Amino acid sequence: MLHPQELSAAQISEVLAEVFGVRASTVLQRAGGADAGATVYQVAGPDGARWWLKCRRYAVDPVVWEVLHHLREHVGLREVIAPLPTRDGAAAASWAGLQWTLFPYVDAFSGFEEALSRAHWQRLGRVLRQVHDVPLPAELSDRLRCPGFDDDTAVERVGAWLQRADARIPVRDALGEEYLALWCRHRQRIEAIWQRCRELRARIGEGRASRVLCHADLHAGNVLVGPEDGVYLIDWDEMVLAPRERDLMFVGAGIGGRWGREQPPGFAEGYGPVTVDPLRVAYHRHWRILQDLQEFHDLLLEPGATARPPAQRRQALRYMAEQFAPGNVADCATRAWQAAQG
């Protein structure tokens, strides 16, 4: 299957014209993004109009797009960015084995590019509370994913790698060698994260918690901030029904070296009163690290890894190293673990 990064500007322009009725004069790949199976492009038309295009090797369930339009049109959450329709009225298109979605361009910066002001944090808290409190019609909620512990593979896969001698891990090229060196360097911390995640999962057990609509990937890169305290939530591919801690854990998680503060000024004021389970916050922070490690491993060591775009694999190496930097996700997960011991 073609990887989205391998698309040419001519191919993209052809699909945009035929499927979306968009005439593209410029197509630029957006830098960054940790999604190994997707690529985002900025598209500009000859009249100056702009869009974001996301191409994926996987398919997002159509209910996600339906929920986004429900939030915008029926709840009034204009801060939620939903895809534009194809010429046939669909939310997404398929071409060359890829799923294509086109989004309106938002003139704003991501939370990785610009720090949130107090007013931004307050607005984000308010919008997220509205998302979490929205009563979805059954025709939508019944079709959304409700993941549980049994749906997870990251804990089991990382555990299997830890139990295998490092010398037996197959290495396929120089980038794989670099990854294995990072793995060995941080192996002790990785094992501690894995053990804590399992313990937290056991402590949470089968305890029931109310499920709410969650973005589920609410790191700084998926929040756009603009003038006049504007805040926009993008990239809802992972949307689920889950305990609200699935989203709230991101505030203080330090992903990408951002949002490492547990109580940024304005957020709690905007979100409003809530009882947060520290066990679930800690679990989701640890689980997220293992999930990322699983993706890095697949990009750099699994069969077929060397066929992936080199730039994407080098980026994965950089992200892997950053996870263990001071103030990044490993440190923030440890802090959440300590808070959960009280």
In a domain, 67, yes or no: no
Q: Tell me which residue range forms the domain holding 123.
A: 107-342
Nearest Cα to Cα of residue 222 among 236, 206, 234: 234
Residues 91 and 151 in one domain: no
Instruction: Give yes or no for residue 36 having a pLDDT over 80.
Output: no
> How do residues 37-88 score in pLDDT, each as one tens digit?
888 999 999 999 999 999 999 999 999 999 999 999 999 999 999 999 999 9
Residues 55 and 127 in one domain: no
DSSP 117: P
Distance separating alpha carbons of residues 322 and 114, to the nearest angstrom: 19
Residues 51 and 154 in one domain: no
Residues 98 and 118 in one domain: no
In a domain, 72, yes or no: no
Residues 90 and 142 in one domain: no
Residues 331 and 196 in one domain: yes
At residue 198, what are phi and psi to the nearest 5 degrees?
A: -65, -40
Distance separating alpha carbons of residues 323 and 19, to the nearest angstrom: 39
Residues 54 and 169 in one domain: no
CATH code: domain of residue 241: 1.10.510.10
Q: pTM score, two decimals? A: 0.94
> How do residues 220-267 score in pLDDT, each as one tens digit?
999 999 988 999 999 999 999 999 999 999 999 999 999 999 999 999
C-alpha distance from residue 180 to each of 87, 160, 169, 172, 294 (Å): 47, 15, 8, 11, 13
Domain count, the chain: 2
In a domain, 117, yes or no: yes
C-alpha distance from residue 314 to each of 121, 175, 184 (Å): 32, 7, 18
In a domain, 319, yes or no: yes
Q: Tally the C-alpha atoms within 13 A of residue 300's C-alpha that lie toward its C-beta.
A: 27
Distance separating alpha carbons of residues 335 and 282, to the nearest angstrom: 8
Residues 325 and 228 in one domain: yes
Instruction: Give yes or no for residue 309 having a pLDDT over 90.
Output: no
